[in-house]
Copies of this chain bind each other. A is one copy, B any other.
Amino acid sequence: MTDLVPSRPHGRRVVIVGAGFGGMAAARVLARQKTVDLTVVDRRNHHLFQPMLYQVATGGLAPPQVAWPIRRLLGGRSNVRVLMDEVTGVDKSAREVLIGKRRIPYDTLVIATGAAHSYFGHDEWAPFAPGLKTLEDAIAIRRRILSAFEQAEACAVADDRGRLLTIVVVGGGPTGVELAGSIAELARFALAGDFRCIDPGEARVLLIQAGPRLLEPFPEPLSWKAEADLKRLGVEVRRGAAVTACDAGGVTVGGERIPAATVLWAAGVAASPAAAWLGVAADRAGRVPTLPDLTLPDHPEIFVIGDTSVVKGADGRPFPGLAAVANQQGRHVAKTVMARLAGRGPAPFRYRDHGVLAMVGRNSAVARIGRIHLSGRLAWVIWGVLHIGLLVSLRSRFAVMSEWIWSYLTYRRGAQLIIGRD
């Protein structure tokens, strides 16, 4: 069955699969071009601002403050169609995207399906150590963390209480650092005084990093600064130690068994199944190698961007898996499509590295902005202002800002709900 929606009088048909940072950046530009007939397909109905997802997972923000309906973001334009559906494959020769039996024809295809977690060949760990990629993940992690405190309060056996009050975060990249810092602050400040049999401030929060330092994409001094700030919050940082076992009872790290009721996974990235759809060989992380202009070799009509692809910069090194890279790649694709429609040729993608930021906790963040290194309160203010600015609507900015100001003043969090069951 081919697509029954009648063909449209507009120019070239562009199909974007995935409405994360890369897909949305391309879609926002192309939606404004009346000569483009744009279809955006995503499994979910919302675009998610992942850099603040850890705040949903730790009870600070509600899902609607970091996610917005895709069709609302692209809404009201007659040349744009949004489909919530699951892509099952790509027919490169017919130039059609497959959604089950349905086929969506394209002239240009943009694959921006992001990445999932990698458990380094230990997928059996997944149920015990959930990762943080979706709103469902965030709600489940929030449930696990808060339930552990509830169970400890109801628990009469001291040993069990110890296990319940131990939270292990695996992976010392930005997500791991932000999660660990936020959980430590939740336990020390937001939950203070709410319990009677336990002191939530005595919870152990461990951050496990297999590599030699935290935040490896950051300049080294900032890694040590972040680690010092985490330690001040009471987080135990274990570097140079890999997880060798993970089950319902806890984790084994560098030979040591750590009983823990809550283990969270913020390590390892595995690209989405795009390589299989396209019938190309992926790299070890499942990413699709592309040419410097972000197209598939021999298929200039197919772009693969963001965490789904791997492309080397001028220095021969692949670009890091950052929102900023996906964003710029999305805009580059949109520009390339428009250039082609105007009869001009493609250009290689260049990443403009403006810097990197990571939040540690109250008054504490680390940032490299251009060549400038910042930490502490100044970096924290910049993190806040920048992230408020990156939210997609005035309304979200207002809502998140009021939430943050209230939390800053009261040390409390506004979304400490346990929803659903494990």
Contact = CB atoms under 8 A, between A and B. Distances in A.
A116 interface: no
Given A150-B45, A402-B399, A416-B45, A195 B63 contact: no
Interface string A354-377: 000000000000000000000000
A78 interface: yes
A153 interface: yes
Interface of A: 1, 3-5, 44-46, 62-65, 67, 69, 71-72, 75-76, 78, 80-85, 99, 102, 135-136, 139, 146-147, 150, 153-154, 156, 193-197, 395, 398-399, 402-403, 406, 412, 414-420
A382 to B, nearest CB: 26
Contacts of A416: 45, 64, 69, 72
Given A64-B62, A76-B194, A85-B154, A414 B402 contact: no
A46 B193 contact: no
Contacts of A403: 399
B197 A5 contact: yes
Contacts of A5: 156, 197
Contacts of A402: 398-399, 402
B418 A46 contact: yes
Per CB-CB distance, the 8 closest pairs between chain A and chain B, nearest first, are A62-B62, A4-B156, A64-B415, A84-B150, A45-B418, A71-B194, A75-B194, A76-B193
